[in-house]
Structure 1
Amino acid sequence: MLAELGARLRPAATQPVTAARRALQAQATRRRQLVEIRKQEVTRLHQTTDKQARADITSLIAVLDRRIAKAEAQMAALVEADPEIKTIGRRLQTAPGVGPIVAATLIAEMPELGQIDRRRIAALAGLAPIARDSGKRAGTRSIGGGRLVVRTILYLAALQASRRFVVFRTFRERLSSTGKSTKVALIATARKLLVTLNAMLATATDYDPAAT
């Protein structure tokens, strides 16, 4: 069945991931793991009043902070060492809400950025609304699937962009004014940011507020 599907649809060949991107992906994954462990330890710190336990947890959090900083430094070094990735990273960071970690994560986890159209890039990130209609019933649209890592990092980037930059703040506030929940408005903002980043790489241009 898979062979028949390929013969009929003739999908484009998947481009191999470069060694530089694989190394960056490994460091980005390790950073996420360390951040998750740190979150768990912070939760445990808040759940105990025992002095010895708190001291041990606090010590471990300090170690994790250093490990996270080390992973971030390695990510920055990998981006800096590869001319193509360096150019992409610099361009991505001209957009609101996109710092070094967001840019490096997108480079590592979404090599298709700038290579496909806005609908497919949104679907890959799991930010495209999925219709759940049946007959004459129009179901609620919701997101799902896609790459959770990319969706999460874009959600956080959209939160920062909508707080600090007028274009994205206005977009989010307009959605909220129509009755959209905070989460729905932020997801739509994340999708808008992703589409903007995709267009920037596709056209090899830095962020332009007038184009969003």
Structure 2
Amino acid sequence: MDRIKALLSLREKLVRHRTAYKNGLSDLKDCYVEGENALIVEVQLNLISELDKQIQKVEDEIRMIIHSDDSLEVNYNLAKSVIGVGPILAAYLIAFTNNFINFDNPRSFACFAGIAPFSESSGKQKGNARVHPYANKQLKSLLNMGAMSAIRIPGELKNYYLSREKAGKNNMSTMNIIRNKIVFRVFAVIKRKVPYINHSKFAA
């Protein structure tokens, strides 16, 4: 599991560098004068291309490790069956739950991932909810991207998002609920050993 975590950490750094070069390229184009920054653009494009290759190499290695272990592969595929969970998020879930051994319920994992805010309350004084300071910020970011993806796919989560939006509910609150729904669904399919089925696909 440490090997997967190390590779995910490396991937995170490579993605961060690639994003920085892409942003730099975008800034250059905003003030681009024909021929003036040609070399800078060429070098950054080459670096982005090379980083793409290295990121793919790291992802291939992660998949190879997971597929070489039956128990990892089973849970990895079960996690990916949940709408909003892609290969990278599934790998993070496998790595940071120790293949769902270290967390016995989704609520404790939600707290670890920083999507279960706790209130600073004392007696009758009710404080504002905030995320635990030791929350895994990368997991939270990936779950947020998963939620953003899920609300674009026809199904219960998209319908839920649209209904709350129509009712004028707070968008951040809605997205956090969806992040939690994704986590709870993942833990449910792992426990049942049955892939998630999007029943909306079969609706008339």
TM range (shorter): 0.7 to 0.9
Choose which of 192, 196, 205 in structure 1 pairs with 2:181: 192
Q: Is the 8 A contact 2:155 2:198 kept in 1?
A: no
CA distance in 1, matches of 2:160, 2:198: 12
1:73 is matched with which residue? Answer: 60
Choose which of 79, 83, 101 in structure 2 pairs with 1:96: 83
Is 1:110 paired with 2:97?
A: yes
> Quick one: which amino acid aligns to residue 84 of structure 1?
S
Report how far residue 38 of structure 1 moved: 0.4
CA distance in 1, matches of 2:6, 2:196: 28
Q: Could you list the runs of 4 or more consecutive aligned residues of structure 1 that deviate by over 6 angstroms after TM superposition?
A: none
Q: Is the 8 A contact 1:158 1:189 kept in 2?
A: yes
CA distance in 2, matches of 1:181, 1:130: 18
Equivalent residues in 2 for 1:1-212 (5 A)?
21-48=1-28, 49=32, 50-111=37-98, 113=100, 115-134=103-122, 136-145=124-133, 146-209=135-198
**Count of residue correspondences:** 190
Q: Is the 8 A contact 2:93 2:99 kept in 1?
A: no
Structure 1, residues 170-201: CA drift from partner, whole Å, max 9, x if none? 22223333433333321221111001111221
CA distance in 2, matches of 1:120, 1:98: 19
Unaligned runs of 5+ in 2: 200-204
Distance 1:147 1:161, change over 3 A: same
Unaligned runs of 5+ in 1: 1-20
> Quick one: which amino acid aligns to residue 2 of structure 2?
R
CA distance in 1, matches of 2:125, 2:176: 24
- The secondary structure found in structure 2 opposite 1:164 is coil
Q: Is the 8 A contact 1:112 1:121 kept in 2?
A: no
- The secondary structure found in structure 1 opposite 2:118 is coil
Q: Is the 8 A contact 1:96 1:165 kept in 2?
A: no
> Quick one: which amino acid aligns to residue 14 of structure 2?
L
> Quick one: which amino acid aligns to residue 91 of structure 2?
A
- The secondary structure found in structure 2 opposite 1:163 is coil
Give the TM-score of the pair, scaled to structure 2. 0.84
Report how far residue 137 of structure 1 moved: 4.5
Give the TM-score of the pair, scaled to structure 1. 0.81
- The secondary structure found in structure 2 opposite 1:179 is coil
Q: Is the 8 A contact 2:72 2:99 kept in 1?
A: no
Distance 1:110 1:175, change over 3 A: farther
CA distance in 2, matches of 1:136, 1:58: 58
Distance 1:113 1:170, change over 3 A: farther
